[in-house]
Amino acid sequence: MSAEPPPPVPLDNRFARDLPELAVPWRAEPAPDPRLLVLDESLAAELGLDPGWLRSPDGVGLLVGTTVPVGATPVAQAYAGHQFGGYVPQLGDGRALLLGELVDADGHRRDLHLKGSGRTPFARGGDGLAAVGPMLREYVVSRAMHALGIPTTRSLAVVSTGRTVYRETPLPGAVLARVADSHLRVGSFQYARATGDVDLLRRLADHAISRHHPAAAGAERPYLALLGAVVAAQASLVARWMLVGFVHGVMNTDNMTISGETIDYGPCAFMEAFDPATVYSSIDHRGRYAYGNQPAAAEWNLARLAEALLPLLHDDEEKAIDLAMESLDGFRRRFDAAWSTGMRAKLGLPDDVDQAVVTPLAEELTALLAAGRVDVTSFFRALAGAARGEVEPTRRLFPDPGAVDDWLTRWRALGPDADGMDRVNPVYVPRNHLVEEALAAATDGDLAPLGRLLDVLSAPYDERAGLERYAAPAPPDFGAYRTYCGT
Ligand code: AMP
Ligand code: MG
């Protein structure tokens, strides 16, 4: 510990103050040899944190949780959750800490949170630690999602700890510093509901309304409005995932936020060959969280949120259930609308083309992509070329190029806007083989491939010469991709 004055980081602790029943004050484990591997300087600046200071020993101490600013109350958060459909009454931050909240000049409050900072009372059998590879993976994929314009928690930094983490093999340990509008999850509400303390449930809902869905406060039924707002945020979020081929991989209720941010990048991956049954997670044997099941999984999770909120919706349980069902019905409508709007943009179709034309055209396309197992990112990007008259690169993506001709003719007759397409169809997404390559190099101490990958992914819509390999799918010898969570 240094004798220097504590770091100048004004961390508030409103979560711990408002909801002490969900917050266990706790401290990070010491890191024997902390080294900053990556820092998102622009995010630091957004948060009012000086990147130069964050690189100093005290700054790095903050990023691993060993230097705690005066007045901060780091806590492990309690939550419950359905994991692959089975209810676990107590999960909580087993290897994470909420350091506190940073409030910007506009009053926007954001959590500063650590993952991999040591065992907490919620650790169960876990070691409380995280390895460099998986923490960098979250850093890379969350950065890509943000650059794609998809709501997500952000990664501020990854610091290697100098501690060895034992998985199948010994690995270098790391802590990820993460920033989010909050870490409230569906599982937070399940936990509060299960305590039977309606006052706690109400305080949690009030906290969520004030932080994420303030308009609900003025509604006739604020808690029903909160449910509706979360349904809307998640419908929009999952539609955004679907439009870029993102597979979250572990959509348990403890991994679904109230804010509508993507959270917990574990066994996630970007789909290449289009197939709704795509699963990457090594533990998702039944494909519960397969690409094509994600909207249904989100809807299921939201039903769990609605159940948890029932006592706040109406004194009469029957009436509360009716209100909840009506609100949940909004999910499909909103998801379909968000997906259709997104597809219209991806296809570059002007507003005056009737939705009754766009929807079947999009459905026909997904069937063609599935039949040809076409790389989705390459397809939509190449399609802008087809709108400009260069159809060959698009045709060549299909094993039988003639299969898409009729579709292309009908689509081109609608007058697609190629430049508009280039603004919504990314050239660069985190290709699984490139992510693995960068993480393997970083684990061995070479950060250069990671730096290049981050640079490419930070501007996903701008095609740049010389970066062709970042735009191409994995070579066939990469094989079937498997991802692991909880590592
Ligand atoms: P996840 O699947 O990463 O969302 O984690 C599910 C639960 O397991 C959460 O309660 C985590 O805090 C906990 N957990 C995951 N990995 C570890 C670990 N290595 N040590 C302690 N708890 C963990
Ligand atoms: Mg989680």
Each residue's pLDDT, cut to its tens digit, for the chain (487 residues) gives 445 555 578 999 999 999 999 999 999 999 999 999 999 999 999 999 999 999 999 999 999 999 999 889 999 999 999 999 999 999 999 999 999 999 987 889 999 999 999 999 999 999 999 999 999 999 999 999 999 999 999 999 999 999 999 999 999 999 999 999 999 999 999 999 999 999 999 999 999 999 999 999 999 999 999 999 999 999 999 999 999 999 999 999 999 999 999 999 999 999 999 999 999 999 998 999 999 999 999 999 999 999 999 999 999 999 999 999 999 999 999 999 999 999 999 999 999 999 999 999 999 999 999 999 999 999 999 999 999 999 999 999 999 999 999 999 999 999 999 999 999 999 999 999 999 999 999 989 999 999 999 999 999 999 999 999 999 999 888 877 888 765 6
> Does residue 222 share a domain with residue 144?
no
Residue with the smallest CA separation from ligand 1 atom 14 is 94
Whether residues 175 and 199 share a domain: the answer is no
Q: How many C-beta atoms lie closer than 10 Å to residue 316's C-beta? A: 10
Specify whether 217 is located in the same domain as 286: yes
Give the helix/strand (H/E) hosting 143.
Answer: helix 132-147
241 shares a domain with 95: no
Using the mean position of ligand 1's atoms as its centre, give its distance from the Cα of residue 111 in Å.
19
Ligand 1, atom 2: closest residue by C-alpha: 486
For residue 271, which amino acid is it?
M
Report the nearest atom of ligand 1 relative to the CA of 266.
3
153 part of a folded domain: yes
Mutational test site, ligand 1, from 22, 29, 90, 95, max ligand atoms within 8 Å of CB: 95
Number of domains in the chain: 2
Give the CA angle between residues 190, 196, 201 to the nearest 5°. 55
Domain that holds residue 196: 186-344
Of 154, 180, 206, the position where a domain reaches its end is 180
| Strand residues in 17-74 grouped as ranges (E) | 23-25, 35-39
Judge whether 457 lies within some domain: no
Distances (CA, A) of 30 to 71, 74, 129: 20, 14, 12
Q: Indicate the angle between helix axes 294-313 and 186-195, nearest 10 degrees.
A: 40
In a domain, 433, yes or no: no
> How far, in Å, is the centroid of ligand 2 from the Cα of 183?
10
Under DSSP, the state recorded for 30 is P
Reduce the DSSP state of residue 144 to 3 states and report it. helix
Residues 237, 128 within the same domain: no
The closest ligand to the CA of 257 turns out to be 2
Q: Which residues are catalytic, by number?
A: 254
Q: Which residues contact 80 (CB under 8 A, 6 or more apart)?
A: 87, 88, 89, 90, 91, 187, 190, 191, 194, 253, 254
Does residue 152 share a domain with residue 171?
Answer: yes
Smallest CA separation from ligand 1 atom 12, residue: 94
State how far the Cα of 415 lies from the Cα of 388, in Å rounded to an integer. 10
Residue with tokens 């600046």: 45
Q: Looking at the domain assignment, is residue 460 inside a domain?
A: no
258 found inside a domain = yes
* Assigned domain for 48 exists: yes
Side chain identity at residue 347, one-letter code: L
Half-sphere exposure of 228 (CA within 13 A, CB side): 17
115: nearest Cα among 71, 153, 152:
153
Instruction: Map tokens 């689509």 to a residue.
Output: 411
Question: 229 C-alpha to center of ligand 2: Å?
Answer: 22
Q: Report which ligand 1 atom has the smallest distance to the Cα of 79.
A: 10
Q: Which of 363, 233, 256 is nearest to 304 (CA)?
A: 256
Dmax (CA) for the chain in angstroms is 73
The residue whose CB lies within 8 Å of the most ligand 1 atoms, and thus the one to mutate among 153, 161, 254, is 254
Q: How far is the CA of 122 from the centre of ligand 1 (A)?
A: 9
Q: Name every protein residue with a CB atom under 6 angstroms from any ligand 1 atom.
A: 91-96, 122-123, 126-129, 250, 254-255, 264, 266, 485-486
Q: Assess whether 152 and 28 both reside in one domain.
A: yes
Query: H or E segment at 329?
Result: helix 317-346
Note whether 72 and 99 are within 8 A (CB): yes
Token pair 């002490």 is at which residue? 20
459, part of any domain: no
Which residues does residue 111 pair with via DSSP β-bridges, in sequence order? 101, 180
Q: How far is the CA of 457 from the centre of ligand 1 (A)?
A: 28
Q: Are residues 20 and 153 in the same domain?
A: yes
Identify the pLDDT of residue 476. Answer: 84
Last residue of a domain, one of 180, 212, 245: 180
The whole-number pLDDT of residue 171 equals 95
Ligand 1 atom index nearest CA of 93: 12
Is 369 inside a domain boundary? no
What are the CA-CA distances from residue 38 to residues 8, 35, 97, 385, 437 (Å)? 21, 9, 20, 36, 17
Q: Among the three residues 151, 180, 209, which one is the final residue of a domain in this structure?
A: 180
Instruction: Look at the alpha carbons of 208, 212, 213, 215 in this order and tell me if their dihedral is positive or negative.
Output: positive
The number of residues making up the chain comes to 487
Do 92 and 220 fall into the same domain?
A: no
Q: Tell me the CA–centroid distance for residue 150 and ligand 2, in Å.
A: 19
- CA nearest ligand 1 atom 7, residue: 91
Q: How far apart are CA 204 and CA 372, in angstroms?
A: 48
Residues 230 and 286 in one domain: yes
CA distance 384 to 213: 37
> Is the domain of 193 the same as that of 158?
no
Same domain for 143 and 264: no
Q: Whose CA is nearest to atom 15 of ligand 1?
A: 486
Question: What residues contact residue 286 under an 8 Å CB cut-off, 6+ apart?
Answer: none
Closest ligand 1 atom number to CA of residue 91 = 10
CA distance 160 to 446: 13
